[in-house]
Amino acid sequence: MTGPADRPRAEWPLYEVFVRGKRGLNHVHVGSLHATDDEMALRHARDVYTRRNEGVSIWVVRSDAVAASSPDEKDPLFAPAGDKVYRHPTFYAVADDVPHM
C-alpha cells in the first residue's frame, strides 16, 4: 500500500529560520524557506538570510514541528497580562553599561 508519505512531493518541506546576529544575542526568527532536509535547510538559510553579514549562527526547524497558539485563545492566554503593570520592572533604573535591554 502506498501512503501519502511515500509519494514524491510536489514541493519541498517548509522550514523556519532563526539567526543569531552576534555572540551574546539570542536567535531571532527571520523567515522561512523550502529544503529537502535539515542539512540543505541550513545551507539555504546561509544563502538566503546571512548573505549580508547578518549572522554567526543559524537554527532551522521544520515548520510542521512548531506548535503554535491559536488566535481563538488570544483572550484567555494574553488579555489577563494586560493590566498587571506591577509585573513590569519599570521601577528600576537600568545601568548605562547593560547592553541589549
Partner 1 sequence: MTDHDTPTPGASTSASTSHDHDADHGSVFDGLLGGDDSQWAFGTDFEDPLAGVDTTIPDGVDAAALASYCLMLGDDALVASHRLSQWASNAPDLEDDIALANVALDLLGQARLLLTRAAAADARLVPRLPEGSPVPPEDALAFFRDESAFRNVRLVEAENGDFAETVARLLVFSTYRLALLQRLAGSRDGVLSAIAVKGVKEVTYHRDYAGRWFLTLARGTAESRRRLVAGLDRVWPLRAELFRTHAVERTVAEQGVGVDPADVADEVDVLLEQVLSVSGIDRPEVPPTGTVGGGAGRDGRHTEAMGRLLAEMQVVARAHPSGRW
Query: Measured from the CB atom, is 16 or 33 closer to partner 1?
Result: 33
Q: Least distance to partner 1 from the beta carbon of 10, Å?
A: 12
Among 29, 31, 38, 43, binds partner 1 (CB under 8 A): 43
99 binds partner 1 (CB under 8 A): yes
Q: How far apart are the first and last CA of the chain?
A: 56
d(CA 31, CA 48): 10
Instruction: Name the helix (H) or strand (E) containing 76.
Output: helix 74-78
100 binds partner 1 (CB under 8 A): yes
17 binds partner 1 (CB under 8 A): no
48 binds partner 1 (CB under 8 A): yes
Q: Least distance to partner 1 from the beta carbon of 100, Å?
A: 5
d(CA 30, CA 65): 17
List b or e across 25-56, with b for residues whose CB sees 16 or more CB atoms inside 10 angstroms: eeeeebebbebeeeeebbebbeeebbeeeebe
In the complex, the residues that contact partner 1 under the rule CB under 8 A are: 8, 12, 19, 21-22, 25, 28, 33-36, 39-40, 43-44, 47-48, 51-55, 99-100
